[in-house]
Amino acid sequence: MLNLKNSGLAINGGTPIRTKPWLDNFTTGEAEEKAALRALKSQYLSLFEGSHTPDAPFSFWGGPEVQRFEKAWADYYHTRYAVSMNSATSCLYAAVGALNIGYGDEVICSPYTMSASAACALAYGAIPVFADVEENSGCLDPQSIRARLTPRTKAIILVHQFGLPADMDAIMQICREHKLFLIEDCAQAHRAKFKDQFVGTFGDIGIFSLNVNKSIQSGEGGVCVVNSEELRYRLGLIRNHGEAVVGPAGYEKIEGTLGFNYRMTEVTAAIAGAQLEKLDNLTAQRLDLVQSMIEGLEKFEFLKPLRGRPGSDPTYYVLPIRFLKEIAGVSRNEFVQCANQEGALFYQGYVKPLYLQPIYQRKTCFKFGYPFSAPENKDSKPDYTTGSCPVAERLHYHEMMINEHIRPPHTRTDIDDLKAIVQKVSGT
């Protein structure tokens, strides 16, 4: 049992272990400067054109930096194609449209992730149905997925949460049995593998993020990976004003191809390409820090770092840790408050389960309550009540604590501070 009334603790007036500030996610340097300057010197900051231009050198598919980056990304992940966009959120929206998911369809989603991973279904008129997550990964629980299936289920949007791969054997089996599309949200899972295969390459479309907080980044940005030429084209249409393209292109499958401007700039693509070359090294540094932290926490029975499933290679966007109150004798929130006074920077929970957001509680997204009130969706009865995903709720409100500083430019010395803080607060 922890004694948080110890007079030596900083929260009680003692001296904190760390006063040094934690560093942000700095991953760029000379390589990115040179790449950005190369794009700037070309004078072409974008070479996209929202029209059917088969004879132009770039135009519909973008400029040389975009195309160079997309080829490098596809080569790295061993897929036929990569389609870059201005964010992973844009990729999610485009993926739903490319698969022609919409009114009358249900999509199994995770409740314990960023909001766009479910909102993308709403944007096309489909209904998100939330399955629960596994307590030891934060990823969708295959048994819960099965319990949520209905004749209306069209797809699964699977999130490899925290950089820990989901149970792809079980989930792919579900998709095969029920002929479901699979969108893999790998925003937090760069380079992660399940049984020696990169996540993002199992389903129909895999999505990666280049947001400033991710393992590699270009400020903002996202990438889809696909092996289907048809899906590549449909993603390109949605990225780049498809309604102005399909007529001149003679493309007939126009449903879902209403286009937006999700395009990546030449400068962003150049920076992203330089970052991709650093991915292996940055991941190795991150995993070294994670291993050091996990080894330091092994002796504390009230803390359970999420390690990923056997046969997988997690890459840890953050280090997720379950806090067991029944062993500690104090709440997670009390522990986190005390540790942070010592100079740590742990976060309580992760995200409140998405179905508790007003948009789901009130079942209205657009005018007249659409898409929930649409005639095509009248037979959908999603459960958005408190308690519908008990594991996700327990993790968020009681157990999950997050540390995001297990990444360069931090070093093992910084991790030693975190371990010393946990040691002090635990009283051992």
Q: Tell me how far CA of residue 263 lies from CA of 95, 97, 242, in angstroms.
A: 14, 16, 12
Contact (CB, 8 A) for 75 and 276: no
Q: Tell me how far CA of residue 271 lies from CA of 31, 79, 226, 338, 362, in angstroms.
A: 8, 21, 22, 40, 42
Phi, psi angle pair for 335, to nearest 5°: -65, -45
Alpha-carbon distance of 135 to 392, in angstroms, equals 8
Q: How far is CA 225 from the centre of its chain?
A: 14
Segment (H or E) for 154 = strand 153-159
pLDDT, tens digit (0-9, with 9 covering 90-100), for 256-278: 999 999 999 999 999 999 999 99
What domains, with CATH codes, occur in the chain? 10-23+279-351+391-426 (3.90.1150.10), 31-278 (3.40.640.10)
Judge whether residue 428 has pLDDT over 80. Answer: no
How confident is residue 57, by pLDDT bands cut at 50, 70 and 90?
Answer: confident
pLDDT, tens digit (0-9, with 9 covering 90-100), for 365-388: 999 999 999 999 999 999 999 999
In this prediction, residues 302-315 reach a mean pLDDT of: 95
In this prediction, residues 154-179 reach a mean pLDDT of: 98
Contact (CB, 8 A) for 71 and 81: no
Q: Which residue has the tokens 């004798």?
A: 329
Q: Which of 112, 324, 74 is nearest to 206 (CA)?
A: 74
- Quote the mean pLDDT of the chain: 97
Contact (CB, 8 A) for 216 and 163: no
Q: In degrees to the nearest 10, what's the CA dihedral of 242, 248, 249, 251?
A: 70
Q: How far is CA 354 from the centre of its chain?
A: 14
What is the SS3 string spanning 73-124?
Answer: HHHHHCCCEEEEECCHHHHHHHHHHHCCCCCCCEEEECCCCCCHHHHHHHHC
Residue 1: predicted pLDDT: 85
Judge whether residue 162 has pLDDT over 80. Answer: yes
Q: Which of 328, 396, 284, 315 is nearest to 3 (CA)?
A: 328
Q: Which of 208, 187, 175 is nearest to 108 (CA)?
A: 175
How confident is residue 102, by pLDDT bands cut at 50, 70 and 90?
Answer: very high
In this prediction, residues 167-177 reach a mean pLDDT of: 98
Residue 204's region, left for phi above 0, alpha for psi from -120 to 50, else beta, is alpha
Residue 54: predicted pLDDT: 82
- The two structure tokens encoding residue 384: 């958005």
Residue 219's region, left for phi above 0, alpha for psi from -120 to 50, else beta, is left
Q: Which of 268, 157, 168, 269 is nearest to 205 (CA)?
A: 157
Edge to edge, the sheet with strand 106-109 lists 81-85, 222-226, 205-209, 181-185, 153-159, 106-109, 127-130
Alpha-carbon distance of 138 to 164, in angstroms, equals 8
Residue 56: predicted pLDDT: 83
Alpha-carbon distance of 186 to 125, in angstroms, equals 23
Phi, psi angle pair for 82, to nearest 5°: -130, 140
Beta bridge partners of 303: 323
Alpha-carbon distance of 292 to 342, in angstroms, equals 20
pTM comes to 0.97
Alpha-carbon distance of 77 to 63, in angstroms, equals 22
Cα-trace Rg, the chain: 23
**In sequence order, what DSSP letters do the residues of 333-388 get, joined into one string?**
HHHHHHHHHTT---EE-S---GGGSHHHHTT-SSGGGTTTTSGGGTT-----STTS
Residue 183: predicted pLDDT: 98
Judge whether residue 420 has pLDDT over 90. Answer: yes
Sequence-distant (6+) residues with CB within 8 A of 244 are: 50, 51, 52, 259
Residue 414: predicted pLDDT: 97
Contact (CB, 8 A) for 298 and 411: no
- The two structure tokens encoding residue 307: 């390690």
